[in-house]
Amino acid sequence: MKLRDSPSACPSLWRSLRCPAAELRLDLVLASGQTFRWWESSPGAWTGVMGGRVWTLRQDRDRLWYTVYGEEEEDERPAEAAKLDSAEMDQILRDYFQLDVGLRGLYRTWGAADPLFQSVAKDFPGVRVLRQDPVECLLSFICTSNNHISRITTMIERLCCAFGRRLCCLDARPVHAFPSLSALTGVDAEARLRALGFGYRAKFVSGSARAVAEGLGAEGLRQLRAVPYAEARRVLCALPGVGTKVADCVCLMALDKAEAVPVDTHVWHIARQRYGAALGGRSLTPRAHQQIGDFFRGLWGPRAGWAQAVLFCADLRKGQELAGSRERAWGGRGRGNHRDGPH
């Protein structure tokens, strides 16, 4: 199957919805370590997996263009992957990018409250938080501890190829769905993950998949969207390999907790050095996590996690320019610290 990278080349296969660049910048959002399933398939075109389907997205002036690929074995696809009409596809995109949230107004509010945000954000419009599948987000961010985006992306690709259902093949590249919980709970799952290069993370990925499958289930995990932030974080932190930071990433990017502020050593240093906030002691304890999150929630308001996403993206771009491929991931530590262990 050929990639459909240009609406002008095959207009009947493309649809669009109105979305100004100030509300969404694909290049900033899809490459900023929130998700690891998208790649730039040609200049300005992003191809990836969303909702069990393969999409290519483009932006043109104030339109977001998209095309969706059919599965190779359409008779064998699960019921939830049945063919969608255009309104349903539009809604999937709106939900994934949370396009009902007006970003420009939020930027103005955050800039008025925080001069540092205002000085940075002018060069980084359209950075918004994705609303991802909770299972995929959870297991992906377990892989981010002490890691960087290039390596995480490779690990997630191996995970999907080994355990996920094949969706289609684009320009000789096979594309797979994210694995189901049941696919990752087999007795040999941890050993297979170790063989794929997951190291100590293998037991946490398979262990959390098993814990969710035997406990809440995928639907129960999704229903954490309806409980208070503190309760959702408490439930997540009880899972293997999930500490406060990874839990906050999942709360923010999958469970509708816009106030969640993922804190790593880098964010801690920003709070202390750029904002003069004397928070935390000699180490980044759970109490320090709470204090730093509360500080930013007090500064930026109820969508503090979204504001941090903008600064994180700006910092990541600067880091990429300085250090090439050694990017810092949302769930990983700052560059230069590679001590093993979950957090």
Catalytically active residues, by annotation: 245
Could you write out the DSSP letters of every residue in 164-210? SPEEEEETTEEEEPPPPTGGG-STTHHHHHHHTT-TTHHHHHHHHHH
Residue 313 to residue 335: CA distance in whole angstroms: 15
Residue 185 to residue 42: CA distance in whole angstroms: 36
Angle among Cα 288, 260, 39 to the nearest 5 degrees reads 115
**3-state DSSP assignment of residue 230:** helix
What is the Cα 251 distance to its own chain's centre? 11
Tallying the residues shown for the chain, one arrives at 343
Residue 39 to residue 222: CA distance in whole angstroms: 26
Residue 166 to residue 292: CA distance in whole angstroms: 42
Closest CA to 64 of 31, 85, 93: 93
* β-pair partners for 39: 47
The residue type of 174 is P
